[in-house]
Chains A and B, each alone.
Chain A
Amino acid sequence: MQSPEGPNSETATALEGLPQHALERLQRMRGAPGKGGLFTSDLSINEFLLVKAAGFDPVGLVVGSSIYHIGYQFANMMRNQEMDVLSQAMYHARELAMTRMEEEANALGGDGIVGVRLEVGRYEWGQHLAEFLAIGTAVRSRDGKNHRTKHGMPFTSDLTGQDFYTLIQAGYMPVGLVMGSCVYHVAHQGLGQWFKTVGNNTEMTNYTQALYDARELAMERMQAEATELGAEGIVGAQIHEKSHGWGSHVIEYFAVGTAVIQTRADHIIQPPQLVLTLDD
């Protein structure tokens, strides 16, 4: 299945430029000859140590944001259907935020971004406006090898520093945070059905089918993105469910996970041992 908006579509690239302030900040952080750079990160101490141990240096906290006007779509009360206008909006806006974050990392000379969080915020400006935010820590490899995706952009992942370290130890490498979105309208119950089921405790197959379909579509799209990146698999896939103020019958399913590729064929880790942690 295709995504509503492919990762490399015209519209995604046409708007990806960064504001001037962002470019200046990134320039200062890179440093100049005779003047050292500075890194910022939202990594915890443990994460910082482990990212270092994995052979990467943090180069800076990177952000991408997009304020998006979400369009309107008419839904037939009595039909289960995907709201493709809304699906596309939710997908495209996240894509824009992600691309800008990747651009920032690129400007810092980062090879990838770890600990990416995707958030959707609403403001009081308007009902149909939402801010899509992507935030993470750009990292640069010390071994000088190419760790970028096949599109030449930094890899992205929502893995913590600990997970990132463990994954690399086991011979995998994250390639991209992959996502799929599906906004679905759940039909209102017809009178005939109401008569059939009133007073019984029974499965409501029309509802089951609607939500099942919506989740499957979101997962399918996430998988399509991973396949497109040439990934071997997806770890930590999650399905979030939210109604972004469209009324209770319209629900977004958002599937997100980190696509990984293998860097060596065996993924043998040292046999795990039982430990007793001395932390409180």
Chain B
Amino acid sequence: MPLFKKETPEQKAAREAAEARDALSRASLERGGLPLRAQERLAQERGADGRPKLWTSDLSVSELLASRSVGFEPISQVFGSSIYRMAYAVGQWSYGSSMEITNFSQSLYHARELALGRLLQEARALGAHGVIGVRLEHKEYEWGANLLEFTAIGTAVRLRNWPGALPQPFTSDLSGQEFLKVLHAGFVPVSLAMGCVAYYIYTTWNDEYAKRSWSNQEMRQYTQGVYRARHLAFSRLEGDARRVHADGVVGSDIHMKVIEVTAYRRPPYSNESEAIEDYVVEFFAFGTAIAEISKEHQVAKPRLVIDLEDKPTTIE
């Protein structure tokens, strides 16, 4: 294709139309909404009588049948994404002690909330009663420094024999089989609950000397910092669950990431600044908040079997 060919009026019109659409999509995203393309796909999928014309799901066959056996049908794979700029601008910080980096914690939460919010909007547009098997992921791309994409992906489901609508579909990261077990045990999933914390751990000179020494000892400041951050993450997760009046959280999972930060500080015995390693720990806790619907939590006695399932293999 020649690089400097002038575009024809038709090409120009097509390009401008595409750009106008992109601008509309971005405006919708800025309001926390869905891009046009997603809105259109959802409108196409939704049949006239509220039942889907073609359902899609990322459930495995067993998950599909397990969720069907408790009355839920898949409607569509639903998805939400948000690309967020996250940079630890180290120079800005002049902390004299270990503490939470509050605005960063909020960003970590907000980015996931945006992705999850879009997933819920997709589900609501399809008239779903809930979303199961939600996976929250984040990844970095080569092309953008400090950019993180947060994605939420799951399968929207609907109760087969109940035409009503829920004001807010439930979300859960339970697989189809786990969903069945939870329902059988007298609980319903309500919502995903999350807690995010970014915590700055300040290395004092005592810590630095301890690191340089030959004797074994606990790094108390570090232990304390990690403890405190984990505690904060879990209490936020709890807060999320309490807000939706849940009775408990299952399958909670916690991820920790440590980022090294080099700071320059003057040691007590000299006038020259020295490099010293501080740390930022990020905690992300999440799980499914569940509520009790029946007081009987009878679980049938398991049968012993030898199964025909192969050991899971990884694809690609």
Contacts and interface: CB of A to CB of B under 8 A. Distances in A.
A146 interface: no
B57 A237 contact: yes
B84 A199 contact: no
Interface string A254-271: 000100000000011101
B9 to A, nearest CB: 18
A208 B81 contact: yes
Contacts of B142: 243, 248
A197 B308 contact: no
Contacts of B1: 73-74
Interface in B69-88: 69, 74, 77, 79, 81-87
Contacts of B81: 208, 211-212, 215
Given A197-B85, A215-B79, A234-B54, A274 B37 contact: no
A50 to B, nearest CB: 6
B306 A278 contact: yes
B55 A213 contact: no
Nearest to B303: A275
Contact of B143 (A186, A220, A239, A273): A186
Nearest to B80: A212
Interface in A220-246: 220, 222-223, 226-227, 231-240, 243
Interface size bracket, B side: 35 or more
A235 B69 contact: no
Contact of A276 (B41, B181, B303): B303
Main secondary structure of the interface of B (DSSP, over half): mixed
A203 B56 contact: no
A81 interface: yes
B141 A237 contact: no
B143 A248 contact: yes
Contact of B61 (A44, A227, A235, A274): A235
B147 A46 contact: no
Interface string B289-316: 0000000000111111111111000011
A20 interface: no
A200 to B, nearest CB: 7
B85 A204 contact: yes
B144 interface: yes
A275 B54 contact: no
A163 B61 contact: yes
B103 interface: yes
26 contacts: A80-B22, A119-B316, A162-B308, A163-B60, A170-B68, A200-B85, A202-B84, A203-B83, A204-B144, A204-B147, A209-B25, A209-B26, A211-B81, A212-B37, A212-B81, A235-B64, A238-B58, A257-B58, A272-B66, A272-B69, A272-B180, A273-B303, A275-B302, A275-B304, A275-B305, A277-B306
Interface of B: 1, 3, 18-19, 22, 25-26, 29-30, 34-35, 37-38, 41, 45, 53-62, 64-66, 68-69, 74, 77, 79, 81-87, 89, 103-104, 107, 111, 114, 141-144, 147, 149, 153, 177, 180-181, 299-310, 315-316
Given A217-B37, A273-B303, 18 more contacts: A46-B309, A74-B3, A79-B19, A117-B315, A163-B60, A201-B104, A203-B82, A208-B29, A209-B29, A212-B25, A219-B56, A219-B79, A237-B57, A238-B58, A274-B303, A276-B303, A277-B305, A278-B304
